[in-house]
Structures are given as C-alpha cells and as structure tokens.
Amino acid sequence: MITVKAPAKINLTLDVIGKREDGYHEVEMVMTTIDLADRIDVALTDQSGIAVDCTAAYVPTDARNLAYQAAALMKEAYGIRQGIAIRIDKRIPVAAGLGGGSSDAAAVLRALDALLGLNVSREELAALGARIGSDVPFFVYGGTAVARGRGERIEPVPAPPPCWVVLAKPPLAVSTADVYRALRLDAIDQPPTTAAMVDALNRQDFAAVCRSLGNMLEAVTFSLHPEVRKLKERMQAFGAEGVLMSGSGPTVFALTQQLSRARRITNALRGFCRDVYLVRLLGDERQRA
C-alpha cells in the first residue's frame, strides 16, 4: 500500500481567451498548490475490480469518482491485472474551486506508477490525466504552473514568494460547467493578467503578484451568488494584500506575508463563514517533500 497527499490548488489568474470549436473555453491561468490536502491510500488487491471509499459521504465512490477513473485508465493503459483499492480521506472542500477531485485523480496516477514501478514519464501521466479532466495534468506536475488550452498544457513557473493563504468557502457548491455556461465572452470587462503574473513570479515581487491576481469567472459567480462578492469585499476590508476567488468559486482566498495579519483575517472571517483555513503555499517542488 502507498499513501499519497493530493493537495488543493488556488488560481492566481484565470483568463478566458475564447471559445473553441469542441465547446471548451480556451484559458490561460496560473495555478499553485497549497498545504491543504486529501490523504489517499492506494493498494493492490486480489480482486480484479476497483473499489473506492471516501470519508465525505456525498462524494460518489463509483465510476463517477475521478480517482476511480484514474485507476481505470491506468489498468487499461498498462495492463494492470490486480484489483485496486482506494481510500480517500477528504479534507479539501468539495465543489469549491480548489480542484479536489482532479488532485485525487492525479495522486492515484502517481501512486500506481510508484506502486508498480512503472516509471511512466510525467508527460505521459499528464496526457492520461487530461482524459479525466482539464485540471488533472496540472496536479500531475504540482507546484506552480501556467495552464493553457483547456487547462491541460502545463508550463512550470517559479512559485510565489513565501506567504500565507487564508481560504474561506461560503456554504454553497458551484458547478464549473454552470459558470462557464453563464459566461458571456463579449461581457468580459477585465484585461488578462497571466502575463503580468508570470512576470511578477519571475521577479519574485510579492506586491506585483497581489496586483496581478485576476479571475474572469469572478463576475459570473458573483452574479449567480452575490454572497461570494460580499465575502471578497470583507476579506479586502480586513487588510489582505491580495484577494481573489479561486477557479469557478465559491472559495475566496487572501494572500499575506505576515502571519499576524493572516491570523487576524482568519479570526475575523470565522464569524461569517464556517469553512475557513489558514495554510501555506506549497509553491514549488522543492517545498513539497
């Protein structure tokens, strides 16, 4: 058996570039992993099938589970005869914009590769992951990266300078598909920020990182759920250096380099929101061990 961590991500940017002929949106986004992770046990069994068990009651454990799909793809691609048992200790809020399901899938790809000594390249694992979901390749790499295409083309970039992340998730689930459906490309009224973010990361300029935060899905989710906008405004008022909604939401995060300020924001938010987390960025591979 092997136990692996499946970390959550936050979006530092999310630019929607256009709509593709295959129905997906063309995006450009910077994502970075954070120290909030599911724990996943993966074991080989004598049975031939795949069994998934998850501590979160409302997450499906059948073929709809992205971790299940990852195991099924590995079985097919590498002719794995044994059964696979997966246990997910769910700590990442579900349907929150933090990529929990995609991260679980990537963790299972990596775990099976290690467990069976397959030595599959990262590129090949990421290509397999792209068949499960657009965010899975990012999690195969981890760290900090620009994701392009529908999210599956990954270019690692330097991690942000060390900082604290306060996450707050309002008590509602947001479907990414619904948000993209409601997005009107001609109504986007903010400029893309990915290039500026990559520049800030290359220069390790924390103030510029905060200035370059941007998410074109924010306005859509705010219009569907006005309480998410209120939460963002509240976090700004509490003195965070940078505040943004992650993915399609509803989780909003604040960045600060001062632990005392991070604690103050966390405590202040607890009065309004049950799900509040204070974590570090994992940032890059060197910090992940």
List active site positions. Answer: 9, 135
Nearer to ligand ATP by Cβ, of 210 and 282: the residue is: 282
Q: Which two tokens stand for residue 282?
A: 């994992």
Place of tokens 């509240």: 234
94 is in an annotated binding site: yes
Taking the alpha carbons of 13, 253, 173, 140 in that order, is the dihedral positive or negative? Answer: positive
Indicate whether 31 belongs to the interface with ligand ATP (CB under 6 A): no
Q: Which of 36, 59, 111, 128 binds ligand ATP (CB under 6 A)?
A: 59
Q: Which of 13, 70, 75, 101 binds ligand ATP (CB under 6 A)?
A: 101
Q: How far is the CB of 151 from ligand ATP (least distance, A)?
A: 10
Nearer to ligand ATP by Cβ, of 200 and 245: the residue is: 245
Q: Considering only CA atoms, which of 222, 181, 217 is closest in space to residue 24?
A: 181
CA-to-CA distance for 275 and 22, rounded, in angstroms?
A: 36
Residues in the chain: 289
Q: How far is the CB of 176 from ligand ATP (least distance, A)?
A: 4
Indicate whether 201 belongs to the interface with ligand ATP (CB under 6 A): no
Q: Considering only CA atoms, which of 202, 270, 214 is closest in space to residue 12?
A: 214
CA-to-CA distance for 249 and 275, rounded, in angstroms?
A: 14
Indicate whether 51 belongs to the interface with ligand ATP (CB under 6 A): no
Indicate whether 66 belongs to the interface with ligand ATP (CB under 6 A): yes
Q: How far is the CB of 259 from ligand ATP (least distance, A)?
A: 27
DSSP conformation letters of 196-248: HHHHHHHHT-HHHHHHT-EETTHHHHHHH-HHHHHHHHHHHHTT-SEEEE-TT
93 is in an annotated binding site: yes
CA-to-CA distance for 256 and 111, rounded, in angstroms?
A: 33
Nearer to ligand ATP by Cβ, of 90 and 234: the residue is: 90
CA-to-CA distance for 184 and 191, rounded, in angstroms?
A: 15
CA-to-CA distance for 130 and 123, rounded, in angstroms?
A: 11
Nearer to ligand ATP by Cβ, of 9 and 241: the residue is: 9
CA-to-CA distance for 220 and 225, rounded, in angstroms?
A: 9
Residues within window 203-262 making contact with ligand ATP, judged by CB under 6 A: 247-248
Indicate whether 100 belongs to the interface with ligand ATP (CB under 6 A): yes
102 is in an annotated binding site: yes
Q: How far is the CB of 261 from ligand ATP (least distance, A)?
A: 27
Residues within window 74-93 making contact with ligand ATP, judged by CB under 6 A: 88
Q: Which of 10, 29, 67, 132 binds ligand ATP (CB under 6 A)?
A: 67
185 is in an annotated binding site: no
Q: Which of 19, 48, 60, 267 binds ligand ATP (CB under 6 A)?
A: 60
Given a contact cutoff of 8 angstroms between Cβ atoms, the answer to whether 55 and 89 are in contact is yes
Q: Which of 7, 97, 129, 160 binds ligand ATP (CB under 6 A)?
A: 97
Given a contact cutoff of 8 angstroms between Cβ atoms, the answer to whether 276 and 168 are in contact is yes
Binding residues for ligand ATP, per CB under 6 A? 59-60, 64-67, 88, 94-102, 104, 135, 176, 247-248
Query: Annotated binding site: which residue ranges?
Result: 93-103
